[in-house]
Chains A and B, each alone.
Chain A
Amino acid sequence: MIVRHLLATLAGLLLLLVPLASATPEDEHGHGHGHGQIEPQLNELFGNSTTAGRHTNNWAVLVCSSRYWFNYRHMANTLAMYRTLKRLGLPDSNIILMLSDDVACNARNAFPATVYASAGRQMDLYGEGIEVDYRGYEVTVESFLRLLTGRHEDTVPRSKRLLSDASSNVFIYMTGHGGNEFLKFQDNEEVSAYDVADAVEQMWEKRRYNKLLFTIDTCQANTMYSKFYSPEITATGSSELGENSYSHHSDRDIGVAVIDGFTHYILQYLETLDKSSLATLRDFFNTYDPVRIQSHPGISTSLSSVPPEGLLVTDFFGGVASVEVVPSSAELPALAAGPEASAWRPSPRRGHFNAISAGGEKEDGRFEKAARPSLHRQQGKEWVRPLGKEQGVAWAQGALTALAGATAYVTYLALSK
């Protein structure tokens, strides 16, 4: 057994070393324009650095952690935030909505199957196209932490997972009843500021976000982001240590408060923006007015490498459709050699990367529309590859790699039988 495993490991090592070894001499000659990228690409793969312009998509996690009819406003807060995100273009697939109670169908609701966030009830937030991902007793501290860290049971559907990556800006919004460094879930358990900070650190380590905006509306909310220690986090909360966050107003026919002050004024501001807005988070934070909110909202930007004036509001609120264009010369040699010869397959990622898999181009429409024309353009312009010796070397490398891989695999199969 041990001998077999040793051999298999050796074969694997050989497989890795061949392309690297063959690449080295060329770098020394100084004209391998593509292969000089290996270092940054390795960094990109295994490092944790953030590079400008890497942001390609947005995700949002909206959590209402409290139940009961008299906490109607927390459901309304969350649903109003949900509506705003969708209005700014974030698709439902990128929003994880956690609602711990269903006030819409509560017997005390005089307007069944509706939720309103303002007196007068102009806009039903529970009307059509509401996708609640976690509802009722599914909203627990455990499910919230699993969601952030991506540690799910195999059976959890993709729609309930935060499928963000290192190119995602993630917006987390929480509301409920809280206190110094904790937020109550379901009137039953609590998530502490340390738990959230550690979960976010795991997100960072697992490259699940590019930038993160954490927003929380609860009593003593600012304590909830005080324990963060991971990079690229901007955080804001509704009230200081020792302060309560108050509801904004009630609807007298519904009979309970319908929205909280902090959330109300945030939404009032966001309502003035559209998808193309160039407003920055600085502009957003400048709208805070402790007198109207009746508490002192907090802002934490020290962990972020970019100050709030460098971040657009729409970097978090709304849909982003930027495409990461990779020059073919920036690809790893094995890849550049062509899909047929490649023994290495990139792991499936969201976006156009999905399309780059051996022989599978035509299965994905996006590849044909976006990626292929760009390849043509590249070949036609500055990234045209000279034919000749270098390409021959590349082919040889590819063939050698494939051969080594095949040998190793056959050896392994033979030994393991």
Chain B
Amino acid sequence: MLSRLRRRTAGPRPDPQGVNFTSEHLTAAKTLARRKQVINAIWVRIPILSLWSGGALEDIADNSLYFRFVLALVGIIWLLAIPYEGLWKRTYVDEHALQPSQVTMYFDWAEVHKADRYLDTLEKIVNGTFDERTAFLQESFSISGLATSNTSTSTYAHIRPPRSKGTETILVSANWVSRDGTPNLRGIATLLALGDFLQGQNHWASDLVLVVGEGYVEGLEGFMREYHNLFPGVIWTGLNIDYPGHSFSHLGMFYEGVNGRLPNQDIVNAASNVARYAGGVLPRLHDVVDEPPAGFGSPLVQNYLLGAKHLLHHFAFMATGRGSAAHGVLARHRIDALTLYASPAEGPHGFHTLGRTIESTLRSMNNLLERLHASYFFYLLPRPDQFIPVGHYLPAAVLLGASLTIGGFDCPSPLEGLGYILPAFAVAAVAWIVGLHPIFLAPVPLAILPRPQGQAHTSAKSLTLLFYGALIPTLAMVNFPQAVVLALISLLYLTLPKYLALAILAIQPGLILALAQGYWGLDLQKDWLAVGNLTWPGVYAVWLPLWMISVVLL
């Protein structure tokens, strides 16, 4: 295809003196000539690249393969370079309205005492029925003077400050189950104490809604689905409290939402700033210890490994599309939210620190005059107070995608090729409708799907490369880790030598998913049904067809 583009002549240059040409024609002609030069320049350099990559691949006739190899190599090197400090920048709060850590905090020992008393009762009813628990919560909220009620899986209270117009709302939640799987009693006790504390303060410009959800996310998700039948205000920002232990040493910021949607970076920056300077507790990303690993000598290597550790945690949440904590379900409702995780430890922090951090963070959120928009929505956080802007990491996925796309340029008969690809998508669609687990599709490519030969094989392979080559950079914009995983899978399936590819294809996607479920409890199907994680349909729409086509194309 590249050679066809190159052979196409642009025709004679227009005569500037001629009457038939306007200045736009001349400009267009210049642009065309320049493009042709660029294509020629690339074309001329391809043999140089092939010379450089040596004799190991000389048996491969197609020149473009060398170019693809270089692109994939650069892409992978770029990917590996992401944890390198040189690509990072320091975070900063971009939205002026937030003004973090600038207020006096009034949450004090009286509130801590109240939280302790709430905790006493919560410990008694933690194993009770939903009715018992919601009765206690509603009674407590009522005594504080709040309007309170419940849905089938959650209890909520509504704080209506005297001068709030009620058009915007800040949501604060705590769920019965912590992300550890243990009861989140102190989180709920903090929430009850907050209800009592915030009621009657006059400087709130937004309403506040406090939610105690059943389970880990189910209650909060249920509440969100009913929210608009219950409240008029729009929720801009949310804060989820997770405090499972007795005391805590650090405050973990869990920010990834469902389907890889990230909250505006300002909310992470503001909450970290408040935790550090107002609350007096060091923030962490997730629960990753922010200390360079010992025994690697150079600080450069140490920081690289530390950055990689943070990013791997991030990638694990993002690639599977799961929210990193309960606040993740708010992301689907376009709420910029965060979970504050009180990292269990012997000390020194407790209700006092957490309450003050939450109060000050809420004051910042209260200052907002419009939705968070100033800072980044696409970013990687390699360490607390450091971020990687989209322009520094996106090229890795684009290069990997481009290396696939270029392989698809030679497509002699697109229609014929399509005939071999569409059945794979159709089979996956049928399996989705019927509700068949991916593992049962293992015999399909061998039994049902036709195997293309000759020109049809080239065309089918090119179309697959074109499709996935286009999909990867597109996906990378919204969910970079997922796109990287897809790029690596595509490269392994489609570009490796035959027997190596066969070995990899033998590990069927369904098998991988079943193993992941068995070892790490990663149940994508349940996630899809409970909180709408699109990775499960994505497996049927993208991964399974790719696997089947790759098997057929072997």
Q: Which residues of A contact B (CB under 8 A)?
A: 68-70, 106-110, 112, 250, 252-253, 255-256
Contacts and interface: CB of A to CB of B under 8 A. Distances in A.
A69 B370 CA distance: 12
A70 B203 contact: no
Contacts of A109: 203
8 contacts: A69-B97, A107-B161, A107-B203, A107-B204, A108-B367, A252-B104, A255-B363, A255-B367
Nearest to A187: B369
Contact of A68 (B165, B202, B369): B369
Contacts of A250: 102
Nearest to A109: B203
A291 to B, nearest CB: 24
Q: How large is the interface on B (under 10, 10 to 19, 20 to 34, 35 or more residues)?
A: 10 to 19
Contacts of B165: 107
B163 A107 contact: yes
A110 B165 CA distance: 16
Contacts of B163: 107, 112
Nearest to A254: B103
Nearest to A67: B369
Interface string B358-396: 000001001101000000000000000000000000000
Nearest to B161: A107
A184 to B, nearest CB: 13
B99 A255 contact: yes
A257 to B, nearest CB: 8
A256 B203 contact: no
B97 A255 contact: no
Given A68-B97, A107-B203, A253 B102 contact: no
B99 A256 contact: yes
Interface of B is mostly: loop
B205 A255 contact: no
Those 4 A-B pairs whose CB atoms lie nearest each other, nearest first: A107-B205, A107-B163, A110-B203, A255-B103
Contacts of A69: 97, 205, 367, 369
B40 interface: no
A70 B97 contact: yes
Interface in B444-471: none
Interface string B433-452: 00000000000000000000
B272 to A, nearest CB: 19
B508 interface: no
Interface string B327-347: 000000000000000000000
A107 B164 contact: yes
B202 A110 contact: yes
A253 B97 contact: no
Contacts of A255: 99, 102-103, 203, 363, 367
B7 interface: no
A255 B106 CA distance: 13
Interface in B160-186: 161, 163-165
B518 to A, nearest CB: 51
B96 interface: yes
Given A69-B205, A252-B104, 18 more contacts: A68-B97, A69-B97, A69-B369, A70-B97, A106-B205, A107-B164, A107-B165, A108-B366, A108-B367, A110-B203, A112-B202, A250-B102, A252-B102, A252-B103, A253-B103, A255-B99, A255-B103, A255-B363
